[in-house]
Amino acid sequence: MSTGPGPLLDRLLRLCVEREASDLHVTAGEPIVLRNLGRLERLDLPAPSAAETEAMSLELLDEGQRRAFSEERTIDLALSLELPGGQSARFRLNVFRERGRAALAIRRLEERIRTLQELRLPSALADLTELDEGLVLFVGPTGSGKSTSLATLIDRINRTRDVHVLTLEDPIEYLHQSERALIRQRQLYSDFPAFAGALRATLREDPDVILVGEMRDTDTLRIALTAAETGHLVFSTLHAGSAVGAAERFVGAFADHERDSVRSQLSHVLRAVVSQRLLPTSDGQGRVPAVELLLVTPAVSNLIRSGKPAQVYSAMESGASLGMRTFEASLAELVLGGLVSEERARRAARDPRQLEERLRQARIGRVRVVSRS
């Protein structure tokens, strides 16, 4: 585990908490920057020197992490900070090289694990925690809240099911204490050297539920498929632009001669894909998730196996009664609820014309209801 922040970083982390900032950026020779409600704020503090950022970074790392940082020039970690009154704050840090100098990008994590309702996530996600086996993927850009959403699902499992949960994370962001479930959390470098080997070993450790923080290579993808096929419930994240594109992105990671068999495997084990993105609220006081949800019905499974992503999107549109939703449907709901401005939603939409049509139809429906009353 990391050794903890030195005096300068400790001061900056506490300032981040006091200002209720979401992010902290430290770069040699430049002003220290906080991000608050999406806006960057340069602090009136002396710019740190290259020697200071180097020392600030290395004092966080244990021996294994220092070796990894030396080889890869970047590393993720997490740490907790004790606050007055018995409170604490937790942070995710990325330490990296910038023009040969050490730099830090730091995200302040939630003080506690919030519920689906508190996060404004679809209630249909609760059903994913009741699955006995299969693969559930979360996709979206960095900083879109995937880790927070997954922590909420794991927390729900922890409180409601008698199962063994094993997590492989880089880093461990949210700490879980076993309740009904038995939870064991392992962190890259400090607890295991690579995801693929750790996931393979996990299958010998009697898990019911496995969380893989990120599937980064074909070996990890392949073992995750095997885990889902052999009766485990596997949650993970994947770099993909949409719920529909997740299956193609998964299959595309493999060599040409493997793709047909992988596509067939995936169509049998995939249970859901959740795509999310955080948008600023219309009052400028926070952010709210726009969430796309694909549930893999027998029809969707067949379309994945056949390699027909365009038709999968149509199945999502017609599957609203099952809990499915497209990204544009989610955006329209946020606009109509007054949570996100129409202009912001239009800029975020993949298909602005479809969003406008959804809003138009919804508003016509409202007018009709009012006129009848």
Same domain, 63 and 125: no
Residue 218, Cβ density class (10 Å: 0-12 exposed, 13-18 middle, ≥19 buried): middle
| Same domain assignment for residues 135 and 267 | yes
Q: What is the reported pLDDT for 3?
A: 63
Q: Is 274 helix (H, G, I), strand (E, B) or coil?
A: strand
Cα separations (Å) of 216 from 138, 194, 196, 211, 277? 14, 10, 9, 14, 20
- Which of 70, 92, 108 is the endpoint of a domain? 108
Q: At residue 183, what is the residue type?
A: I
Within this chain, do residues 89 and 135 fall inside the same structural domain, yes or no? no
Is the domain of 96 the same as that of 232?
no
- 37 shares its domain with 162: no
Does residue 209 belong to any structural domain of this protein? yes
Give the pLDDT confidence of 297-335 residue by residue, as tens digits: 999 999 999 999 889 999 999 999 999 999 999 999 999
Answer whether residue 184 is part of any domain: yes
Same-domain pairing of 28 and 83: yes
Distance CA 111, CA 106 (A): 15
- Which stretches does DSSP call E strand in the chain? 23-27, 33-36, 39-42, 74-82, 88-98, 101-108, 134-139, 164-169, 182-187, 209-212, 233-238, 270-280, 287-295
Q: Do 162 and 296 form a contact (C-beta atoms < 8 A)? A: no
Domain edge (last residue) among 58, 91, 108: 108
pLDDT for res 373:
35
Whether the pLDDT of residue 128 is over 60: the answer is: yes
Residue 338 belongs to a domain: no
Q: Is the model more confident about 216 or about 133?
A: 133
How many CB atoms lie under 10 A from the CB of residue 319?
A: 18
Non-local (6+) Cβ contacts of 51 within 8 A are none
Q: Is 284 buried (19+), middle (13-18) or exposed (0-12) by CB count in 10 A?
A: exposed
Q: If you average pLDDT over residues 291-295, what whole number do you get? A: 97
- Give the bridge partners for 27, in sequence order: 103
Residues 194 and 214 in one domain: yes
Q: What distance lies between CA 217 and its chain's CA centroid?
A: 18
Q: What is the pLDDT of residue 284?
A: 84
Q: Is the pLDDT of residue 367 over 70?
A: no
Range of the domain at 11: 7-108
316/314 Cα distance (integer angstroms): 5
pLDDT classification of 372: cutoffs 50, 70, 90:
very low
% of residues, the chain, pLDDT over 90 = 84
186: CATH: 3.40.50.300
User: 68 and 204: one domain?
Assistant: no
Output the domain CATH number for residue 77.
3.30.450.90
Mean pLDDT, the chain, integer = 92
Residue 122, in any domain of the structure: yes
Q: How many residues does the chain have?
A: 373
Question: Could you tell me if residue 361 is inside a domain?
Answer: no
In this predicted structure, the answer to whether residue 354 has a pLDDT above a threshold of 50 is yes
Residue 318, CA atoms < 13 Å, CB-side half-sphere:
8
Share of the chain above pLDDT 70, in %: 97
Q: Indicate if the pLDDT at residue 126 is higher than 90.
A: yes
Q: Tell whether 149 and 297 lie within a shared domain.
A: yes
Please tell me whether residues 63 and 140 are part of one structural domain.
Answer: no
pLDDT value at position 86?
Answer: 83
User: Both 43 and 129 in a single domain?
Assistant: no
Whether 1 maps to a domain, the answer reads no
- DSSP, res 35: E
Which pLDDT band, with edges at 50, 70 and 90, does 366 fall under? low
- Final residue belonging to a domain, choices 108, 130, 153: 108
| Number of domains into which the chain is organized | 2
> How many whole angstroms separate alpha carbon 313 and alpha carbon 328?
12
The pTM assigned to this predicted structure is: 0.89
C-alpha closest to that of 230 among 211, 259, 204: 204
Q: What pLDDT was estimated at residue 36?
A: 87
pLDDT of residue 38: 78
Please check whether residue 318 lies inside any domain of the structure. yes
Residue 18 has pLDDT above 80, yes or no: yes
| Reported confidence tier of residue 1, pLDDT bands at 50, 70, 90 | very low
What are the tens digits of pLDDT across the range 235-281?
A: 999 988 899 999 999 999 999 999 999 999 999 999 999 999 999 99
Q: In this model, does residue 370 exceed pLDDT 60?
A: no
Residues 42 and 190 both lie in one domain: no
77-86, 129-138, 361-370 — which one is most confidently predicted on average?
129-138
In a domain, 359, yes or no: no
